[in-house]
Amino acid sequence: MEWSPGDRGNIEDRRGSSGGRMVPVGIGTVLVLGLLSWATGTNFLSLLDNQSGSPQSANAPVQSTPQEERAVDFVDAVAGDVQNTFAQQLGGRYQRTRVVLFRDAIESACGSAQSATGPFYCPADQKVYLDLGFFDELTQRFGAPGDFAQAYVIGHELGHHVQHLLGLDQGTRGAATGENSASVALELQADCLAGIWGHAASQNGRFKAGQVELEPGDADEALRAAAAIGDDRLQKMQTGRVMPERFTHGTSAQRVAAFQRGMSSGDFAACGAGARGTR
């Protein structure tokens, strides 16, 4: 991917903050909720109804490395470019947000969360939360390395922001699980919305200040990431078997297909998210 650092206007750096525990909506949630629900027979997705808590305002000084600071700039650049794409499609309906960076644990408007939860979107404050350590997990644990694999994760979470702005996520938190559930449909739609940004970023000659352009092979990185975090693959990793009745995000094949649908069309209508422009 070609990208350049910006002014970090698309991130909120709270790496000096700490928080407690919570499991909100996000691309990595199934790692925790899926295993707990399977082991106990209790639907832990009901925890997503918890909208209590408020963000921390204080930050301690951040100790970082040049490599981590590059990752911060990367998240900022991708988040800005994804939002520019969504704003072009949705016009006045789109409201910009920020990606909140944290380490280990954080207090969000949805409550407390830990890095093991994975990246997530909090509807209560309309922000995306991300521990940069997840990118290492994506590479080392899930076998999905590369810049665009990481960008796909950011695009997916910002896709949840689009869903919230358009009211497409109403009634889904705490809903039943399963291969035909509203939860799965919502996650697949977010994958498709991430693909819409991928379509825009794949346009040749697009790279300039504030924009991201894909290079040959980048799209394959995103497809590997989508396949790596399908419910069927994660369940087999955790339990050794596949349980469709407990799906929350969709199979690897479904997630790949959803992302490809958005990337090949570049149109919100292909994701079932409404037509272009304002209304």
Query: Tokens at residue 182, please?
Result: 């509203």
Domain range for residue 164? 11-271
Q: State the DSSP string of 5-71.
A: ---STTEEE-TT--------SBTTTHHHHHHHHHHHS--GGGGGG----------PPPP--HHHHHH
Dihedral sign for Cα 237, 129, 225, 67, please.
negative
What is the distance between the alpha carbons of residues 222 and 176, in angstroms, rounded to a whole number? Answer: 28
196 located within any domain: yes
3 located within any domain: no
Dihedral sign for Cα 34, 29, 266, 275, please.
positive
How does DSSP classify residue 53? -
5 located within any domain: no
277 located within any domain: no
246 located within any domain: yes
97 located within any domain: yes
pLDDT tens digit string along 76-97? 999 999 999 999 989 999 999 9
pTM of the model: 0.81
58 located within any domain: yes
What is the distance between the alpha carbons of residues 54 and 216, in angstroms, rounded to a whole number? Answer: 43
209 confidence band (pLDDT: 50, 70, 90): low
276 located within any domain: no
pLDDT tens digit string along 184-194? 989 999 999 99
Domain count of the fold of the chain: 1
